[in-house]
Structure 1
Amino acid sequence: MSEPAPFHAAVADAPEGARAFWLTASDGVRLRAVSWEGGTRGTAVIFPGRTEYAEKYGPVAGRLRARGLSVLVIDWRGQGLSDRHPSRPTLGHVEDFRDYQRDVAALMALEARLDLPGPRYLFAHSMGGCIGLRTLLERAEFCGAVFSAPMWHLQMRAATRELTSKVTQFANVMGLGARLTPGANAQPTTMAIAFEGNPLTSDRATFDWMLGQITRHPELGLGGPSMQWTYAALEEMARLYVAPLPKVPVLTLLGTEETVVSTSVIRAQLDKMEAGELVLLGEARHEIFMEVPATLETAWRHIDDFLARVPLRRGAEALLSR
């Protein structure tokens, strides 16, 4: 079994019974994963967004455990307590977005060792939605997926996107890829912005809770992305836009006040899917799972309906193939 890792339960608002593990990806990067076991209806695997970490998903784990699901969540390379850039630990950095699939492989190997129950459902937010879409195309464990504001394109003009791609590509060629992307802030996001007008959540209590987590545990905080991360992200989103789309059922939750990811691309991708469904949540911002109680209750009603409808065939086949 994997070596135990720390989990800051005091700031997580999570259900009891969390177990944290150190994992090693195929390229030697050390990762942290956290599990809540004991579910009998299946397993929810959480892919967090950029800058996020396991403690932030404590309340989500609680709702999933209350629904009879075991839960598994990962800290992606470069964030949370996983290995970070060796000389700039607050810089969000990755060489290639496909490296995240190494993290997925390590996480799913842990899931197999823990012998968590099938079927398996993917829950993915923002950057995790970009990683998760690639995962659904290349792996067969999941029988369905719930995406929250998936990062399938960023909300920017096409000309801006093209210029950003060229500038960051040139910077990488010149050996500057590990520098902060121009316009990004080196401070952790919730420290760098005020609650008023923030793009993340309309819930003040949740915003303060997130800020309190990284205030008490600064090692969890992460600043803006590197130019290499930005270029790699734009390249992966462009590849996924023209790739064949997954056939498993997909539920996507999106706030009407979304300003981070492209709502038009999300709609276009879902329209092309065999079983894609979009739920718009009024007055919600980017982080659906961190929103006001009324929005959360609406979102979880849709999730419950979705889980009740998802065919279990692919999940069952994956379980039998172990």
Structure 2
Amino acid sequence: MQNELKEFWSQGDFQSFTGKNTITIRYAHFSNKTGSPTVVISSGRSESYLKYKNIIFELHQQGYSIFILDHRGQGLSQRMLSNTHKGYVERFDDYAHDLHQFITSIVNPTSTNSLPYLLAHSMGCAISLRMFQLFPQVVKKAALLSPMIAINTGVLPHFLARFIVNIGRVINHIFSNEPWFFIGLSAYKAKAFHNNQLTHCKKRYKSTINLYEENTNIQLGGVTFHWLSEALKAEHNIFSDLDKIHTPLCIFQAANDNIVDNKKQDIFCDELNQLAPHLSAKSPIVIEGAWHELLFETDEIRTKVLTRALQFLES
């Protein structure tokens, strides 16, 4: 299997384009037979397309052409701060502009079919939703896995978390031109499997850790006050611009997710369903027993999610 995967990966097309504000965005493309449907993958925070090798291979085996980009400030794409481990973006919507440019300028010219499908995870879902609101009808359908509609603030009420983030950002701007890590966060440091809240699959978790140890240039640490402030703005915009979404969506919710706010996913689905029942079910598809990274979970969970996501996209 590893030799087959290595041979497959060597046939990929690895390129870059210049995104908003002249930031270099890296991407990978794996073409299939002429006329095959296209899937665009929008990954989560701190991820690289290198992490998605097995998923890309599996999708390709099922007859899809795949495009995947590394979002600005992470993966193999250009970092915007001198400390490359700080999670940062100037404006959250910059991500959405990059994704739109990627699809319209690079993906669509290669496709002989209609619009591509989109498969997104976590932050990649928030980016996709903002793209749908800023640039309607870019993709045919989208499956959103553990979407970061809102960050899980834990025991802190949402209003208090917002206050702390915004005050911190103001203080940061007063005393330094360099964005600060949020309280308690730092440069990349691998966690032991028993301390993780991303997946129950030890094999996939260790594989990811090894990938980041072997490719130190894709490592990314915690987020900055600035990034969190922009993420909170994105959450506000996602709900305030709900009527601008015209793309059919399927939301997959990890029942035991501690990274994003599942209640906000419920509210999002309910409100979008009330506005446009043909675009979204009234509630997410809940994956019982799952943690945040649905595509890197145990075989049973991963297979269930990927199968249902592709069924939705093709239905």
Task: Give the TM interval when normalised to the shorter protein.
Answer: 0.7 to 0.9
Deviation at 1:183, TM superposition (A): 1.9
Work out whether 1:79 is the aligned partner of 2:74. Answer: yes
Work out whether 1:272 is the aligned partner of 2:271. Answer: yes
Work out whether 1:125 is the aligned partner of 2:121. Answer: yes
Work out whether 1:134 is the aligned partner of 2:130. Answer: yes
Alignment-derived partner of residue 107 in structure 1 = 102
Deviation at 1:250, TM superposition (A): 0.9
Deviation at 1:255, TM superposition (A): 1.3
One of 11, 26, 30 as aligned partner of 1:32: 26
In 2, are the aligned partners of 1:251 and 1:276 still within 8 Å (CA)? yes
Distance in 1, Cα, partners of 2:31 & 2:17: 17
Listed as ranges, the matches of 1:188-267 within 5 Å are 188=189, 191=190, 193-245=191-243, 246-267=245-266
Distance in 2, Cα, partners of 1:116 & 1:233: 35
SS in 2 for 1:259: coil
Deviation at 1:46, TM superposition (A): 0.7
Distance in 1, Cα, partners of 2:7 & 2:220: 21
Deviation at 1:150, TM superposition (A): 0.6
Moved more, 30-39 or 108-117: 108-117
CA RMSD of aligned residues (A): 2.1
TM-score normalised to structure 1 length: 0.86
User: C-alpha offsets along residues 240-261 of structure 1, whole Å, 9 cap, x if unaligned?
Assistant: 1222242322111121110011
Deviation at 1:172, TM superposition (A): 4.6
Compared CA separation, residues 239 and 68, structure 1 to 2 (3 A) = same
Distance in 1, Cα, partners of 2:24 & 2:208: 24
Moved more, 200-209 or 298-307: 298-307
One of 129, 143, 151 as aligned partner of 1:146: 143
Identity in percent: 22
Distance in 2, Cα, partners of 1:110 & 1:264: 36
Deviation at 1:138, TM superposition (A): 2.4
In 2, are the aligned partners of 1:149 and 1:261 still within 8 Å (CA)? yes
User: C-alpha offsets along residues 1-35 of structure 1, whole Å, 9 cap, x if unaligned?
Assistant: xxxxxxxx99x879443111011113111110101
Distance in 2, Cα, partners of 1:162 & 1:229: 12
Alignment-derived partner of residue 60 in structure 1 = 55
Deviation at 1:176, TM superposition (A): 5.2
Counterpart amino acid of residue 85 in structure 1: M
In 2, are the aligned partners of 1:42 and 1:120 still within 8 Å (CA)? yes
Compared CA separation, residues 208 and 49, structure 1 to 2 (3 A) = same
SS in 2 for 1:128: helix
Distance in 2, Cα, partners of 1:86 & 1:137: 28
Alignment-derived partner of residue 294 in structure 1 = 300
Q: Which has the higher helix share?
A: 2
Distance in 2, Cα, partners of 1:46 & 1:304: 13
TM-score normalised to structure 2 length: 0.88
In 1, are the aligned partners of 2:197 and 2:292 still within 8 Å (CA)? yes
Deviation at 1:62, TM superposition (A): 1.9
Compared CA separation, residues 63 and 164, structure 1 to 2 (3 A) = farther
SS in 2 for 1:110: helix
Structure 2 residues not aligned, in runs of 5+: none
SS in 2 for 1:265: helix
Moved more, 142-151 or 153-162: 153-162
Distance in 2, Cα, partners of 1:159 & 1:221: 31
Distance in 2, Cα, partners of 1:177 & 1:233: 18
User: C-alpha offsets along residues 279-310 of structure 1, whole Å, 9 cap, x if unaligned?
Assistant: 1112110010110001011112212321232x
Work out whether 1:162 is the aligned partner of 2:168. Answer: no
The number of residue pairs the alignment matches comes to: 297
